[in-house]
Structure 1
Amino acid sequence: MTADATRHFSVDLQGRVAVVTGASRGLGAAIVRLLAHCGATVHAVARGAEELAALAADSANIRPWVADAADAGFHAALAAMEVDLLVNNAGTNAPMPMADVPDDVLDRVMGLNLRAAYLVAQAAVRSMLRHGRGGAIVNITSQMGHVGSPGRTVYCMTKHGLEGLTKAMAVELAPNGIRVNSVAPTFIETPLTAPMLADPAFRAFVTEMIPLGRIGKPEDVAAAVAYLLSDAAGMVTGTSLLVDGGWTAR
């Protein structure tokens, strides 16, 4: 997160312990940097040790945690620590026509985007219920959790499912002071989207579909996440904040 990107951001997360999955690059890294800038102690979770070490060098508030978001050992460790904030960001995509999706791709995308996200959220909730201070969770979904798109049937299915999970968790956990929301970005410039956006025709299509006329930056998503985790969003739960430049408003 550059100085220009954080200069006017005033959300206060001092004293909060946050966990961010998929944290080593792209959206996750931007979210980690901003939460740390806002004062949270941020446990940055990913499989890439070198990338996490580089990220941790940005702030004394960032704690690298080399782990797989789908691993049962990580879920147990997360449930055992004291967590105030969770950003469920780890995810993947494998665009292809529905008729061509093999079982292994179906299982891999569903396993990370939905099953692992559920188990990570469950572990964080167990921590929050035990320490009794409430908490806030943000699930990173997608504009594709609100609409459909050719070549993305599995991805859309998982993101629609994560939106449903967000709502159900919000209703169930509200009496415990735990807020649950989602942030649903459009196409953002990240390593995951780079191969798709490298195609000039696809990039032109995406830009045309976004009324604001530009592809999003990771910092656009990070700002929405920080707001939803903060006390400024104290009456916001069970909703999806679309960071899509107006794509789904058409």
Structure 2
Amino acid sequence: MGSLQGQKVVVVGGSRGVGRSIVEAALGEGATVLAVARGTEALKELAWEASGVKTLAADATQDTAPDAVFAAMQPDVLVVCAGAFAPSASIQDQSWEDFSTNWETDVKASFLFCRAALRGLMKPGSRVVLISSGAAFSGGPPNSGGYSGAKRTQMFLAAHSQKEADRLGLGLRFMALAPMRIMTGTGVGQRGISSISAYLGISPADFLASMTDVQTPADVGRAVVALAGGKAQGTAFTVSGSGLAAAA
């Protein structure tokens, strides 16, 4: 029997990349899974290829998104993986709209769903996992705009939400998980690899060769399943090729 047998898991941003790997990992552990994303075509492809997954087309940055998602499925585990591509231009060549794109997408979606959980839309015992990034610790390259700050803020948001849940006696768990290395095989990762290597003036192959202890999207999926077990202490975690760990 899988570790999530009988559990309902919602993955916001679940149609592609890391989100899709989380969907597949949860399905493999026996969960009933709802994948939420904006793109209907990607959701159709997911539903065709991942037997049993439920899907919902919704924009996670809209104020009404949590109500729509929780009406479709009341989750035991909510994973917020929705995010935008980071900018790929030097700061002086970015507009504020460029610089703030990850605040308006990654952070806003996380905020809306954490707020909804704290307002009573998730039952006691439920777990919320926000997918952050190792850039929250490294700072990222100068051409990534507000990406690293946005991903760090997701960690703050998980910690603040946990304190508020404890104060109110809601019985909820809030956690942030940061994959520590940029990954191939995902849209965000591929774009990031191209952008960073161009900024550094090296080939993508040389940039990839410089990285060690790299996790895969499947590793992230397994880490989320482990956190969904609810036994880990703390609110911030990392996953690398070496596995899941509490953030220092």
Alignment TM-score > 0.5, same fold: yes
* Equivalent residue in structure 1 for 2:203, among 201, 204, 208: 201
8 Å CA contact retained: 2:8, 2:33: yes
Superposed CA RMSD in Å reads 2.4
Unaligned runs of at least 5 residues, structure 1: 1-9
Question: Which deviations, in whole Å up to 9, do the C-alpha atoms of 1:61-117 show, x marking residues without a partner?
Answer: 310111111122322223445221111100121232222220221343211011222
Supply the AA of the counterpart residue of 1:179. R
For 2:2 and 2:112, how far apart are their aligned partners in 1?
28
Percentage identity across paired residues of the two chains: 29
For 1:11 and 1:239, how far apart are their aligned partners in 2?
25
Question: Which deviations, in whole Å up to 9, do the C-alpha atoms of 1:15-58 show, x marking residues without a partner?
Answer: 21111111111001111111111111111011121221221234
* Equivalent residue in structure 2 for 1:188, among 174, 180, 183: 183
Aligned to 2:102: 109
Total equivalences in the alignment: 230
Aligned to 2:164: 172
Distance of aligned partners of 1:136 and 1:62 in 2 relative to their CA distance in 1, 3 Å threshold: same
Supply the AA of the counterpart residue of 1:236. Q
SS in 2 for 1:180: strand
For 2:126 and 2:234, how far apart are their aligned partners in 1?
11
8 Å CA contact retained: 1:11, 1:226: no
8 Å CA contact retained: 1:196, 1:202: no
Supply the AA of the counterpart residue of 1:27. V
Distance of aligned partners of 1:235 and 1:34 in 2 relative to their CA distance in 1, 3 Å threshold: closer
SS in 1 for 2:138: coil
Query: Which moves more between the two structures, 154-163 or 88-97?
Result: 88-97
Is 2:92 aligned against 1:118?
A: no
Structure 1 consecutive aligned stretches of length 4 or more whose deviation exceeds 6 Å: none
Aligned to 1:4: none
Is 2:38 aligned against 1:47?
A: yes
* Equivalent residue in structure 2 for 1:14, among 5, 11, 14: 5
8 Å CA contact retained: 1:19, 1:83: yes
**How much has 1:59 moved relative to structure 2?**
4.1
Supply the AA of the counterpart residue of 1:195. R
For 1:148 and 1:107, how far apart are their aligned partners in 2?
15
Supply the AA of the counterpart residue of 2:216. K
For 1:188 and 1:194, how far apart are their aligned partners in 2?
7
Is 2:23 aligned against 1:66?
A: no
Query: Which moves more between the two structures, 70-79 or 31-40?
Result: 70-79
8 Å CA contact retained: 2:56, 2:69: no
For 1:116 and 1:122, how far apart are their aligned partners in 2?
10
**How much has 1:196 moved relative to structure 2?**
4.0
8 Å CA contact retained: 1:136, 1:180: yes
**How much has 1:153 moved relative to structure 2?**
3.9
| TM-score normalised by the chain length of structure 2 | 0.83
**How much has 1:144 moved relative to structure 2?**
0.6
8 Å CA contact retained: 1:179, 1:236: no
Distance of aligned partners of 1:99 and 1:242 in 2 relative to their CA distance in 1, 3 Å threshold: farther
Aligned to 1:227: 226
**How much has 1:240 moved relative to structure 2?**
1.8
Question: Which deviations, in whole Å up to 9, do the C-alpha atoms of 1:186-236 show, x marking residues without a partner?
Answer: 1112122223435662442344242x3xx4321011111111012xx4242
Aligned to 2:80: 88
Unaligned runs of at least 5 residues, structure 2: none
Supply the AA of the counterpart residue of 1:97. S
